Amino acid sequence: MYCRVRDLREDHDMKQREVADYLRCSQQVYSNYELGQRDIPTDILIKLSELYHVSTDYILGLTNNPNQIK
């Protein structure tokens, strides 16, 4: 899951700071999400899915189809 969060950010040519600002958290907290050092809260997971226009199931690794909900 954590690699997928990083890959989505990189695929959208965004910097950690930009995503952190969107999520209203610090860059360090967001970095910890990407590194798997901190669990991603549900509200942040939802915001990430909205930002990248993918399902939460995709971010969680439950499906490889970005728009499919399992």
55 lies in some domain: yes
Q: How many domains does the chain have?
A: 1
30 and 38 in contact (C-beta within 8 Å)?
A: no
Angle of CA points 62, 32, 41, to nearest 5°: 50
67 lies in some domain: no
26 lies in some domain: yes
Range of the domain at 15: 2-60
Cβ density class 10-33: b for 16+ within 10 Å, e for less: eeeebebeebbeebebeeeebbbb
The Cα 58–Cα 45 span in angstroms is 11
The CATH number for 26's domain is 1.10.260.40
Q: State pTM to two decimals.
A: 0.90
70 lies in some domain: no
69 lies in some domain: no
Look at residue 70 in the predicted model and tell me its pLDDT.
59
23 lies in some domain: yes
The mean pLDDT values, 10 residues at a time, for the chain of 70 residues are 91 97 97 95 97 94 80
40 lies in some domain: yes
